[in-house]
Amino acid sequence: MWMELLKDYDVTIQYHPGKANVPVDALSRKGVSLGSLAYLSVSKRPLAKKIQTLESKFMQLSISKKGGVLASIEVRATFIEEIRDKQFEDEILKELRKILCLNLLTESHGLRYSIHPGVT
């Protein structure tokens, strides 16, 4: 979305790997969460203001006094989330979950110490 906004303007994206970035360089980080920092040099201040209004989950923007925009972008790995989502769709796991719930309810209902609200 923001790339479409930028294509109509004279914009230079400068990337400085290593210690120049406040967050860790995205290409050298080995963790699950990745991040990068880019300085967008813009020639028109209205563009910088438009970019600043873009609020999303993965981007934080701020305008410098010279009209530049500092963009911090966070990229998350979705592989683990995809696995978690697919587990709920798996038919075998659905059946196992159903059996587990039934066994748990049957066992807990038969205990001497179980409490049944509303029954005296």
pLDDT tens per residue, range 2-24 = 667 667 776 666 655 555 554 54
Instruction: Work out the pLDDT band at 102, boundaries 50, 70, 90.
Output: very high
Q: End-to-end distance of the chain based on CA atoms, in angstroms?
A: 62
The answer to whether 79 and 73 have CB atoms below 8 angstroms apart is no
What lies within 8 Å, CB to CB, of 114 at 6+ separation is 108
- In the DSSP assignment, the letter for residue 18 is G
pTM of the model: 0.29
Tens digits of residue pLDDT in 74-87: 666 678 888 888 88
**C-alpha to C-alpha distance for 61 and 73, rounded to whole angstroms:** 9
